[in-house]
Structure formats: structure tokens, C-alpha cells
Amino acid sequence: MAEGNKLTHLNEKGDANMVDVTTKAVTSRAATAMGTITMTPETLQLVVDGSHKKGDVFAVARIAGIQAAKKCSDLIPLCHPLMLSKVAIDFEVNQDNNQIHVLSLCKLSGQTGVEMEALTAVSVACLTLYDMCKAADPHMTISNIHVTSKAGGKSGDWQLEQQLTGV
């Protein structure tokens, strides 16, 4: 994140630096993110029907996404460890384009935002879908992972105009 034109994860010498949030107010914060996995119609049908030989693909991907949000600071070096109060993962199936849209919601009361946690949740849920389905469809693609909204904090609230319903 940048304040003005200054990158906040760099100190005066240009070295990597964890942002000091000590004096920031504790506020309610939330972020949503989304990503897409595209697969063959046959693979999508296995997932939707729950007939995949590995079991309930959605349930496993949901749990993986929740766990990933909780571990975000272990994966991304300059992220603060956060006490998340809510993590939700949802899936929207787009049969016309053979896609599953993965949506995440992360919330907390804290001194820093949860955008990275929402992005990590979506990323790992997509990777889990890929992992569980790769034997049936090794040509799946994961794309368009992005933050769709944020609420709270000094920079205020915003939301993308085009967003699926989801979480």
C-alpha cells in the first residue's frame, strides 16, 4: 500500500519493512476477493454433481481457503498476523463458461486491513480445486484473482462495480 507516492513496506533506505500500525485506531475492517478456475464441462459436472472420486471438492476447497486466510502472515513476509473474526468462502458456478468463481470474505476489528487474507483465501481455494481435479483435467486455468471490496480503515470503503453476488 502506498501513502501518497511512498511505498509503506520500504523504509527510508529502501529496505523491506513491516509497517508499524501501533498508533492506528482499532476499527472494523472487511475485504472480499474473487478468482476464477476454468475447466472442461465434464470436470465441472463432476464437481457440481458431487460425483468426483475424491469426494466433496467444494467442502475441501472451502476449508483450505479458510485455513489459508488464517495463515496469511506465515506465507507473505510483511503481513501482520491478524485475529480474524470471520472468513467465508463461496462458489458460483458458471456452466456457460465452464467456470467456478471463488469468492472470499474476511473480517476483523483491528489496526490493519484484511485484503491480503481475502486474496490468499481465494488463491488457495482455487489451488485446491485444481489439485483435486487435475487428474481429470490437467489443463484447468486459474485467473483474475482480485480484491472486489474493502471496508474500514483510513482509506475508506470501496467496491468494484462488477461483482458477483457470493459472500
Q: Choose the catalytic residue: 15, 20, 49, 131.
A: 131
Q: Which tens digit of pLDDT belongs to each residue from 88-107?
A: 999 999 999 999 999 999 99
Q: Which residues pair with 30 in a beta bridge?
A: 107, 151
pLDDT per position as a tens digit, 11-59: 677 777 778 888 888 999 999 999 999 999 999 999 999 877 777 999 9
Nearest to 127 by CA among 107, 145, 106: 145
Q: How far is CA 63 from CA 67, 127, 138, in A?
A: 6, 12, 22
pTM check: above 0.85? yes
Q: Which CATH class is domain 41-151?
A: alpha beta
* 103: nearest Cα among 134, 126, 84: 126
* DSSP 8-state class, residue 138: T
Catalytic, 131? Answer: yes
Nearest-angstrom CA–CA distance, 90 and 106: 12
- pLDDT tens for residues 50-66? 877 777 999 999 999 99
Domain ranges of the chain: 41-151
